[in-house]
Amino acid sequence: MSSTEDADTVALRAAAPGQTTPDDAEIFLDAMPISELASMWDTLQRLGRRDQTSATWAALMYFNHLSKRRPDRALDLALEVLRVESDKPTSVQLNDTFMLALIDAHGTEMIERIEREASMNKRFRDLLGGVRCYCTPDEL
């Protein structure tokens, strides 16, 4: 599928009647099942900037803020992406942006769940091994 077709697919998924504000888009995407949300996130990772539409931009903004606003849903999304996606560049993107933001914003409150999930999921352990720690030796 071309990136233009991907953009059209995401636009169709993200388009909902009455979505006139970012809050409306957030409500719509929050109601979406994790499997569909993971598919959308994955598709968005393959789009170039020139292929983005207002609908894909709204979805990108939702994902950029998800780690900060809804950490449990963000972790569910990361686990689902790892479950269905074997593409190395996508996993790297998940590591470099999504998980880093989640751990930075909510690492303390999410650590027990992260440890529990990592103990049962090798792909998640491997992903966490790549999350960079931006701290001083005194903070370790």
Q: pLDDT tens-digit profile of 74-106?
A: 999 999 999 998 777 777 888 887 888 898 999
Cβ-count burial of 86 within 10 angstroms (0-12 exposed, 13-18 middle, 19+ buried)? exposed
Quote the pLDDT of residue 17.
47
Taking the CA atoms of 74, 120, 89 and 140 in sequence, report the sign of the dihedral they define: positive
The residues spanned by each domain of the chain are 3-139
Between 100-120 and 54-69, two packed helices, what is the crossing angle to 10 degrees?
A: 70
Q: How far apart are CA 19 and CA 14, in angstroms?
A: 9
- Decide if 100 contacts 131 (C-beta within 8 A): yes
Q: What is the pLDDT along the chain (140 residues), one digit of tens a residue?
A: 455 555 555 555 555 544 545 677 788 899 999 999 999 888 888 887 777 667 777 888 899 899 999 999 999 999 999 999 877 777 788 888 788 889 899 989 999 999 999 999 988 988 887 655 555 555 54
